[in-house]
Structure 1
Amino acid sequence: MTIGITGATGNVGSRSARLLIQAGIRPRLLVRDPARLDPGTAELSEVVRGDLLDPAFLTAATEGLDALLWITPENFTAPDPLAEMAAIAAAGAAAVKTSGVRRVVLISSVGAERRHGAGLIDGLAQSEEVFAATGADLLILRNGYYFTNLFGNLDELRDGRLTTTMPADRPMPWVDPRDVGEVAAARLLAGNWSATELQAVHGPRDLSWGEVAEIVGLVIGRKVGLDVVPDDAMAAGLRQAGLSDAAVDGLVRMTSGLRDGFEPEQPRTPITTTPTTLASWVAGTLAPALAA
Structure 2
Amino acid sequence: MRATAGVTALYWVNPPTSDEDPVAGHLRMGESAAAAVRENGIPRVVFQSSVGAEARTGFGDIDGLGRTEELLDATGADVTHLRCGYFFTNLLLDLDAVRAGQLGSTLPVDHRMPWVSPRDIGDVAAVRLLAPHWIGRHTLGVHGPADLSFTEVAEILSGVLGRDIRATQLPEETVAAGLREAGMSSVQVAAMLGMSRGQLGFAPENPRGLATTTPTTLGAWAQAVLRPLL
TM over 0.5: yes
User: Which residue in 1 is equivalent to 2:52?
Assistant: 111
Asked whether the 8 Å contact 1:109–1:141 carries over to 2, the reply is yes
Alignment TM-score, normalising by the size of structure 2: 0.97
CA deviations over 1:190-244 (Å, ceiling 9, x no partner): 1332111111111001100100011111111010111101222211111112222
The secondary structure found in structure 2 opposite 1:82 is helix
The secondary structure found in structure 2 opposite 1:217 is helix
Asked whether the 8 Å contact 1:118–1:256 carries over to 2, the reply is yes
The equivalences for 1:1-292 within 5 A come to 59-75=1-17, 77-259=18-200, 261-290=201-230
CA deviations over 1:108-163 (Å, ceiling 9, x no partner): 00001110110111111011000000000001110110000111121111111111
Alignment TM-score, normalising by the size of structure 1: 0.77
Counterpart amino acid of residue 217 in structure 2: T
Quote the Cα distance in structure 1 between the aligned partners of 2:83 and 2:144: 11
- The count of residues paired between Structure 1 and Structure 2 equals 230
Asked whether the 8 Å contact 1:72–1:85 carries over to 2, the reply is yes
Quote the Cα distance in structure 2 between the aligned partners of 1:212 and 1:253: 21
Deviation (angstroms), 1:83: 1.4
RMSD, aligned CA? 1.1
Quote the Cα distance in structure 2 between the aligned partners of 1:155 and 1:123: 30
Segments of 5+ residues of structure 1 without an aligned counterpart are: 1-58
Quote the Cα distance in structure 2 between the aligned partners of 1:184 and 1:191: 13
Asked whether the 8 Å contact 1:138–1:193 carries over to 2, the reply is no
Asked whether the 8 Å contact 1:103–1:191 carries over to 2, the reply is no
Quote the Cα distance in structure 2 between the aligned partners of 1:81 and 1:230: 22
Asked whether the 8 Å contact 1:101–1:136 carries over to 2, the reply is yes
Segments of 5+ residues of structure 2 without an aligned counterpart are: none
Answer 1 or 2: higher relative contact order, Cα 8 Å, separation at least 6: 2
